A and B are shown apart, each in its own frame.
Chain A
Amino acid sequence: MGDLVTISSNLLYASFFFYLIATFFFGGTIRNEKTGNRGKASTIGISLTIAGFITQLGYFFTRWVASQHAPVSNLFEFTTFFGMMLVMAFIIIYFIYRLDVIGLFALPIALLIIAYASMFPREISPLVPSLKSHWLYIHVTTAAVGEAILAISFVAGLIFLIRQIDQTKSSKHTFWLEFVIYSIFSTLGFIIMTTTFGAMDYQAQFQAPVEEQIVNVEYEMPAIAGPNGGELQTEGAMQPVFEAPGWMRGQDAARKFNTLIWSLLSGLVLYGIVRLLLRKRVAAALQPKLKKFNPDLIDEVSYRAVSIGFPVFTLGAIIFAMIWAQEAWNRFWGWDPKEVWALITWLFYAFFLHLRLSRGWHGTKSAWLAVGGFAIIMFNLIAVNLVIAGLHSYA
């Protein structure tokens, strides 16, 4: 049994490298001055992507066999699956539109998502009684597929914005576009910091009052923000720079806040280095490389992804969710935070689709909406699980 788990995680590593190499090949297609998409680099890129996808399917099913339940039951498994579905959605869109540039942006985002997933506990975890149902994989997988297709609309929207936004002067558009790019750097920062301190086996223990009791709080990163009223117990560990504000409740709140600070700071450093090297906005540096792509087509891919993804999302994240909630919790809707945020996502994309009916909501505005939709999906995946606790909290 243990062997199967090892095979499974090796397959996941392998798929990660397939995607990584595929990204470079898609990068190679950009240099090609000709607009023709059927270049060699493109063929190799998509072949490697498919190989990676099949390898990751191998991870998924071997893990399924090993754990005897669909591996979508905790944050690591779900997020990894989401990354895999993002790749699948890209493959589908690739064969409709044959646009290499989508791969150049979609694959790095899938890589980041899979790497991000690996920062969470990776052991096979037991299912609590409410998760023991066929609906676990019916609901969770369909919802993930829907969200992944919607994420492609973000990828296309991002490409559109980088290509289209006027970089000759600074504006709200250039600021927020840089902000989106900075957020991506912060995710990378989080992964680098977690991995580095994990490899160093860094630990700092605090004793801090939580709910009127003194408890042990363990940090795995040096404390910039220590627990409120906490005392450092570990010798040689860094003294916190400041204390987390008192209104952050719960045993893990300060630790999570500290991780967030590390992610944002390291993101800032990474972004700063890149910005210094480029000597201009990151988007401005990317823009010339994207000029050969037809913005109309990119805009259409973004809209198309929403129109394909929205029904799947509705089915998986709303309808199947309701059916299961009815079976497990005897109410199909309970205003649990995760449910509310799924509804918000749904309303947001309904809003997007209705706005496309009006004139003037194509192009840039529509691309910004696609970015906003992805932000909501990520909020539901990350913040609702880690910050707003509810019935769906896995981590």
Chain B
Amino acid sequence: MKKIKCECGHVNPEGTVLCEACGKPIEGNQHIDGNKKDSLLNMRYEGSARRSQTYNRSIVDKVWNFFSSVKVGVWLIIITLVASSLGTIFPQEMYIPPGANPVTFYEDQYGLAGKIYYQLGFHNLYSSLWFMMMIALIGVSLVICSIDRVVPLHRALKKQKPKRHHTFLKRQRIFGETKANVDMDAFKSNLHKNRYKVREQEGHILAEKGRFSRWGPYVNHIGLIIFLLGALLRFLPSMYIDDFVWIREGETEVVPSTGGKYYVKNEDFILENYDPQEDKRFQEALMNQNVPVASNYQTNAVIYERTNNDVVGAEPELKVLSREKIVVNEPAKFGGFALYQSSFQLDEFSSMSFTLHETGDESAVLGKFTVDLTAPKMEYKLDSGARVVIDEYFPEYYMDGNQPRSKSKFPKNPAFVFYVYPPDGGEPEVSFAGIGMNIDPTNENDYKLNLAGFDTRDVTGLAVKKDYTLPFMGVGGLIFMIGVIQGMYWNHRRIWLQPTEDGVWIAGHTNKNWYGLKRDIEKSIQDTGIEMPEDQQQLKG
């Protein structure tokens, strides 16, 4: 490395634009920061030697330089921004109606545009490889950008001396000459009053405040990196679990993804709607809306912990851990897991009762039986000696063409094909019965099954979550906020004063808020005889 020795005696690293100690422009390096002769100096990174601006030989240099460019970073942001917006044109796959087939859904709903959207993979944009690559590239850019700048910047700010080269002062945006005797003590005490740290060297003054705000951008970048790493950790199964369980009222289920350690019982699911009569506040809105508005979804649950080992065949021994009212916004939390009120199914059929009659004579009951829909028996023996055998069971019946089928295994619309064996033991008859229907396929049956009643119960859907990445996200977010506030709500302001033969020179610099700096200078030069310096970079109006 070629060191550069400045006339002030300070040794600068290769690639330095402005001497770290006195600020004198180093000849031959001015193009790096785009400084033109006699124009204002580019003070962005104090003219310090940045790796990216110094070396460009090896592959490593080239990669480093690519990622440390603000221009590249800005392009990465723009591409991500535009890509994100494209993903909102049509709904993402996770928001299309449950059960819809994405292959046909997009074309059916949105025509050709929808088809293209689907084929380009925009229906799953945010989990696509290339979108994640963009985020990863932004992450890399954040790291390299920050290291490239923060190290030399820190060095330059540490090495700066109050005594600056005269060209440095002259080529600051705020600069002024005073040709008169000035009151230095008043100036210094004014600066102190404005909370500046004042350093002096051979009559030269450097007043500085808010230097820590220069680290704000790097602090917030660290926060972002921690946040992104936290997001990456979600791909580890031990860090992040996302599962779901349906539980019928009165039933107890093992909480999935807990290794059989926890069980949960649904004692009651409650759905409450706003009542326009009772709640006068919302009467007008509810009347206008005309559909019931839910006020509460709640599962009264009992959480159990298994106390014996999970051996195949062994009945679990359960100990009550807690009783919870799980409502939206108030999940139940236990052992690192959380249960969220997430979905429900009202009035699922739990059992159906049938009576058997002779066709055309409903007065004499030849027997009654009840089918438990969660565990239907194969055969029901009736008092009269008749037998009913379940041939087929459709928990959620629908007609697919002319073929009866079931949409799911949940008893939402149960229907049966029964074989009815008469009391005298003759040939069986086929009967088809469900909710609101009773079909005799041959029209020659001697016996008829009637629906005598049914029971329903609610089902609650609870999301099971374990997320150990949240602390990372939290810490990342917190550090980001600290950094962004540090960088935005404070400014790094400096005022230099240099004695000349017939008076003083004064110059000022700030990283933002020039208006504030000017006001500080105004206050500091009061009653000192120093003239207000000029802003050399007014936009021409």
Residues of A within 8 A of B (CB): 1-2, 66-68, 97, 121, 123-130, 132-133, 135, 163-164, 247, 249, 291, 294-297, 299-300, 303-304, 307-308, 310-311, 314-315, 319, 322, 326-332, 334-337, 340-341, 343-344, 347-348, 350-351, 354-355, 357-359, 362-363, 384, 388, 390
Is B290 on the interface with A (CB-CB < 8 A)?
Answer: no
A358 in contact with B70 (CB, 8 Å): yes
Inter-chain contacts of A126 with B (CB < 8 A): 274, 279, 281-282, 285-286, 293, 295
| Assembled-state Cα–Cα distance A127/B89 (Å) | 28
25 contacting pairs across A/B (C-beta < 8 A): A1-B281, A67-B281, A97-B515, A123-B282, A123-B288, A130-B328, A133-B329, A249-B110, A295-B541, A300-B515, A304-B515, A307-B489, A311-B488, A314-B481, A315-B481, A326-B470, A328-B329, A330-B342, A337-B88, A348-B81, A350-B77, A351-B81, A354-B73, A354-B77, A357-B44
Inter-chain contacts of A132 with B (CB < 8 A): 328-329
18 more CB-based (< 8 A) A-B contacts, given A126-B279, A327-B331: A66-B281, A125-B282, A126-B285, A130-B329, A133-B329, A135-B329, A300-B513, A311-B484, A322-B477, A330-B342, A330-B465, A335-B94, A340-B85, A340-B87, A347-B81, A354-B73, A357-B44, A388-B88
Is B390 on the interface with A (CB-CB < 8 A)?
Answer: no
| Assembled-state Cα–Cα distance A3/B95 (Å) | 42
Instruction: Report the nearest B residue to A324, measured CB to CB.
Output: B329
B538 in contact with A296 (CB, 8 Å): yes
A343 in contact with B84 (CB, 8 Å): yes
Distance (whole angstroms) from the CB of B125 to the closest CB of chain A: 8
Is B534 on the interface with A (CB-CB < 8 A)?
Answer: no
A335 in contact with B87 (CB, 8 Å): yes
| Assembled-state Cα–Cα distance A326/B282 (Å) | 28
| Assembled-state Cα–Cα distance A336/B91 (Å) | 8
Complex A-B, nearest 8 residue pairs according to Cβ-Cβ distance, in ascending order: A129-B328, A330-B340, A123-B284, A123-B285, A126-B282, A125-B285, A337-B88, A133-B329
Instruction: Report the nearest B residue to A330, measured CB to CB.
Output: B340
Q: Given that A311-B489, A319-B477 are known contacts, is A363 also in contact with B84, CB under 8 Å in the complex?
A: no
B473 in contact with A322 (CB, 8 Å): yes
Inter-chain contacts of B279 with A (CB < 8 A): 126
| Assembled-state Cα–Cα distance A67/B281 (Å) | 6
B296 in contact with A129 (CB, 8 Å): yes
B70 in contact with A354 (CB, 8 Å): yes
Contact partner, B535, options A296, A304, A310, A357, Cβ 8 Å: A296
Q: How large is the interface on B (under 10, 10 to 19, 20 to 34, 35 or more residues)?
A: 35 or more
| Assembled-state Cα–Cα distance A118/B113 (Å) | 35
| Assembled-state Cα–Cα distance A363/B540 (Å) | 10
| Assembled-state Cα–Cα distance A300/B330 (Å) | 45
B489 in contact with A128 (CB, 8 Å): no
Count the A-B residue pairs with Cβ separation under 8 angstroms: how many?
151
B285 in contact with A330 (CB, 8 Å): no
Distance (whole angstroms) from the CB of B29 to the closest CB of chain A: 17
Distance (whole angstroms) from the CB of A320 to the closest CB of chain B: 10
| Assembled-state Cα–Cα distance A2/B283 (Å) | 11
Inter-chain contacts of B514 with A (CB < 8 A): 296, 300
Inter-chain contacts of B512 with A (CB < 8 A): 303-304, 307
A299 in contact with B539 (CB, 8 Å): yes
B71 in contact with A247 (CB, 8 Å): no
Q: Which of B77, B280, B463 has the most CB of A within 10 A?
A: B77
Inter-chain contacts of A295 with B (CB < 8 A): 539, 541
Give residues of chain B (36-79) contacting chain A, Cβ–Cβ below 8 Å.
Answer: 42, 44, 70-71, 73-74, 77-78
Distance (whole angstroms) from the CB of A321 to the closest CB of chain B: 11
Is B471 on the interface with A (CB-CB < 8 A)?
Answer: no
Instruction: Report the nearest B residue to A327, measured CB to CB.
Output: B329
Instruction: Report the nearest A residue to B124, measured CB to CB.
Output: A335
B488 in contact with A307 (CB, 8 Å): yes
| Assembled-state Cα–Cα distance A66/B283 (Å) | 13
Inter-chain contacts of B77 with A (CB < 8 A): 347, 350-351, 354
| Assembled-state Cα–Cα distance A123/B284 (Å) | 6
A340 in contact with B88 (CB, 8 Å): yes
Q: Mark B200-227, 1 if CB is under 8 A from A, else 0.
A: 0000000000000000000000000000
Inter-chain contacts of A344 with B (CB < 8 A): 81, 84-85
Instruction: Report the nearest A residue to B485, measured CB to CB.
Output: A311
| Assembled-state Cα–Cα distance A133/B330 (Å) | 9
Inter-chain contacts of A133 with B (CB < 8 A): 329
Instruction: Report the nearest A residue to B487, measured CB to CB.
Output: A307
Q: Mark B12-27, 1 if CB is under 8 A from A, else 0.
A: 0000000000000000
A347 in contact with B42 (CB, 8 Å): no
| Assembled-state Cα–Cα distance A390/B279 (Å) | 28
Q: Mark B456-472, 1 if CB is under 8 A from A, else 0.
A: 00000001010000100
| Assembled-state Cα–Cα distance A315/B481 (Å) | 7
Q: Mark B432-471, 1 if CB is under 8 A from A, else 0.
A: 0000000000000000000000000000000101000010
| Assembled-state Cα–Cα distance A348/B284 (Å) | 40
Distance (whole angstroms) from the CB of A134 to the closest CB of chain B: 9
B285 in contact with A362 (CB, 8 Å): no
| Assembled-state Cα–Cα distance A163/B488 (Å) | 27
Contact partner, A129, options B94, B297, B538, Cβ 8 Å: B297
Instruction: Report the nearest A residue to B338, measured CB to CB.
Output: A330
Q: Given that A311-B485, A340-B84, A357-B44 are known contacts, is A124 also in contact with B284, CB under 8 Å in the complex?
A: yes
Is B126 on the interface with A (CB-CB < 8 A)?
Answer: yes
Inter-chain contacts of B385 with A (CB < 8 A): none
Inter-chain contacts of B484 with A (CB < 8 A): 310-311, 314
Is B386 on the interface with A (CB-CB < 8 A)?
Answer: no
Is B103 on the interface with A (CB-CB < 8 A)?
Answer: no
A124 in contact with B281 (CB, 8 Å): yes
| Assembled-state Cα–Cα distance A299/B539 (Å) | 9
Is B109 on the interface with A (CB-CB < 8 A)?
Answer: yes
B327 in contact with A129 (CB, 8 Å): yes
Is B376 on the interface with A (CB-CB < 8 A)?
Answer: no
Inter-chain contacts of A332 with B (CB < 8 A): 470, 473
A68 in contact with B281 (CB, 8 Å): yes
Contact partner, B88, options A164, A296, A315, A341, Cβ 8 Å: A341
Distance (whole angstroms) from the CB of A263 to the closest CB of chain B: 22
Inter-chain contacts of A66 with B (CB < 8 A): 281
Contact partner, A308, options B296, B489, B515, Cβ 8 Å: B489
B74 in contact with A330 (CB, 8 Å): no
Inter-chain contacts of A297 with B (CB < 8 A): 515
Is B92 on the interface with A (CB-CB < 8 A)?
Answer: yes
| Assembled-state Cα–Cα distance A336/B111 (Å) | 22
Inter-chain contacts of A304 with B (CB < 8 A): 512-513, 515
Is B503 on the interface with A (CB-CB < 8 A)?
Answer: no
Distance (whole angstroms) from the CB of B419 to the closest CB of chain A: 39
Distance (whole angstroms) from the CB of B219 to the closest CB of chain A: 12
Inter-chain contacts of A247 with B (CB < 8 A): 110-111, 113
Inter-chain contacts of A1 with B (CB < 8 A): 280-281
Q: Given that A335-B87, A340-B85 are known contacts, is A128 also in contact with B294, CB under 8 Å in the complex?
A: yes
Inter-chain contacts of A2 with B (CB < 8 A): 280
Is B80 on the interface with A (CB-CB < 8 A)?
Answer: yes
Distance (whole angstroms) from the CB of B438 to the closest CB of chain A: 29
Distance (whole angstroms) from the CB of B172 to the closest CB of chain A: 16
Contact partner, A311, options B110, B338, B481, Cβ 8 Å: B481
Is B423 on the interface with A (CB-CB < 8 A)?
Answer: no
Is B480 on the interface with A (CB-CB < 8 A)?
Answer: yes
| Assembled-state Cα–Cα distance A363/B541 (Å) | 11
| Assembled-state Cα–Cα distance A130/B295 (Å) | 9
B539 in contact with A351 (CB, 8 Å): no
Instruction: Report the nearest B residue to A299, measured CB to CB.
Output: B539
| Assembled-state Cα–Cα distance A275/B110 (Å) | 40
Inter-chain contacts of B95 with A (CB < 8 A): 336, 390
| Assembled-state Cα–Cα distance A168/B83 (Å) | 38
Is B34 on the interface with A (CB-CB < 8 A)?
Answer: yes
Inter-chain contacts of B463 with A (CB < 8 A): 330
| Assembled-state Cα–Cα distance A319/B85 (Å) | 20
Distance (whole angstroms) from the CB of A51 to the closest CB of chain B: 28
Inter-chain contacts of A334 with B (CB < 8 A): 94
Instruction: Report the nearest A residue to B328, measured CB to CB.
Output: A129
Inter-chain contacts of B294 with A (CB < 8 A): 128-129
